[in-house]
A and B are shown apart, each in its own frame.
Chain A
């Protein structure tokens, strides 16, 4: 593939990803907006792949190595922190209280002191 073709291909999947993103997200209820944000937060940790490539890919000099190293550290904090925080949030949405018996009627209350 020539460079131009590759670019067009990349732009194509970029545009498709935009629509996919809108489509998938518009179904998420308000209840789950925080975990959604935290979840997408973890997903953009994928930049770790980029960090690994620039750091590991036969770097030219110390500067590239240092920049790449810091990028790897930051990106891994993003990945691990993002998924762990999201998991902690979602854990809470799973637990449910057992149904309690119907509560007493109003007139069954003791009088006010």
Chain B
């Protein structure tokens, strides 16, 4: 197949990807869009197979079988609640692939002196660096979300200095390659330092900030893929990679804006380190916590006019989304107006709660975004907080010492009564005290979210 035909067919692939993203703005067309994108990907793979320079068909096919088989099985078997870590994992392997492509390309080119032009060198450096950071960072994010390592921020003295040194090492090796260095060890140093940096950079980031980190790493892999396009002089790689890079960057900005924090603060602030003043304020409140039982809460719910659910990561952990919907249905049958208030950064990836509730068949008009939900709380009788913590923490409005000060929150304390479903009084994932629990309007329903909701269902039926 001639280069012209190949490039034209790659253009078709680019168009399918753009259509896929466009269709994603409409819930009814989104799935079709995803299929169109997948078809475009198949076309790109077929076109690449048909290129003259490709010789080892069977070996490539074998690699695809192994990788694709793993991807298909993992993606089919995973529970909806484990989606964030799956996205992190698939993102990481993409980044790893980009880094490896540049390593191979570097290895291929350095044989003949003068073969490594500056622009190719820069592209190799960028995709190796960004790809390796994305790979290692995503693996740590995966491990944190899968709870293989602790989700809380991991910090130690001199962390920023160590990070800077490691990144500096990677950059130095990368610049040497871009400047025409043709030593193999330069690439090893680059890849090793970039991977270590990826690990160190995600380790101190707390679970509550995962939506920002995952979309950032997604952007990174896109950029790395675009850079490999420059190495291989391949348009489909440049455009598709950059589309992902741009969209990931935009999503990252939207997420950090939703938390009213700069990206630098999210990435390097080691969020969740309780400052002394924040801790003092929580203790200073000295309020008592009121625990309720399921019977009391059920009566409250059944006699309310308007009930709002505020889901958080705890809902995903307990896998209680179906039970929540059952409870909501039951209340609706009793004439209660039910809605769900969704904070933009609730959960562990952008839009996490929407997916979970969609899985439980919650009709999406009932899902209210923050701007829509907040004016309603004043007219809401009961707010049921299921596994959310930081996104309803009033300290964000009032306590300047709190690490989340300034973050827009769901103002659930404006409702008549707040019921918090929680395992125990341990502070949330981010490790910050929450004065909402000590508010006289608040009652706590302790226990596993799923069990508590099941008890509520039984009791509401009996009312």
**Cα A30 to Cα B211 with chains together (Å):** 13
**Which of B40-48, B266-274, B283-291, B397-405 is near enough to bind chain A?**
B40-48
Q: At the interface, yes or no: B214 with Cβ under 8 Å from chain A?
A: yes
Contact of B75 among A43, A74, A84 (CB under 8 A): A84
A32 x B30 contact (CB < 8 A) = yes
CB contact between B37 and one of A13, A24, A42, A85 (< 8 Å): that residue:
A42
What is the interface residue range for chain B against chain A? 35 or more
By a CB distance below 8 angstroms, the chain B residues around A71 are 96-97, 100-101, 104
Partner of A25, one of B17, B21, B67, B332: B21
Contacts of A40 in B (CB 8 A): 21, 218, 222, 243-244, 247-248
Contacts of A13 in B (CB 8 A): 235, 238-239
Chain A residue nearest to B215 in the complex (CB):
A37
C-alpha gap A91/B69 in the complex (Å): 21
A34 & B359 in contact (Cβ 8 Å cutoff): no
What residues on A are CB-neighbors of B332 within 8 Å?
A: 100, 103
Residue of A nearest to B334 (CB): A109
CB contact under 8 A between A10 and B235, given known A30-B351, A69-B59? yes
Which partner residue on chain B sits nearest A1 by CB separation? B233
Neighbour of A49 across the interface among B44, B90, B104, B355, CB < 8 A: B44
CA distance A58 to B233 in the complex (A): 17
Closest to B363 in A: A97
Q: How near does chain A come to B64, taking the closest CB pair, in angstroms?
A: 4
B41 adjacent to A92 (CB under 8 Å)? no
Known: A33-B251, A84-B71, A113-B463. A60 touches B54 (CB 8 A): no
**Which 4 pairs of residues, A with B, have the shortest CB-CB distance?**
A21-B246, A33-B351, A76-B67, A81-B71
B residues sitting closer than 8 Å to A (CB atoms) are: 13, 17-18, 20-22, 24-25, 27-28, 30-31, 33-35, 37-38, 41, 44-45, 48-49, 51, 53-57, 59-60, 63-72, 74-76, 78, 80, 83, 86-87, 89-91, 93-94, 96-98, 100-101, 103-105, 107-108, 111, 117, 119, 214-215, 218, 221-222, 224-226, 228-248, 250-251, 299, 302-303, 305, 332-336, 342, 344, 349-352, 354-355, 358-359, 361, 363-364, 367, 369, 462-463
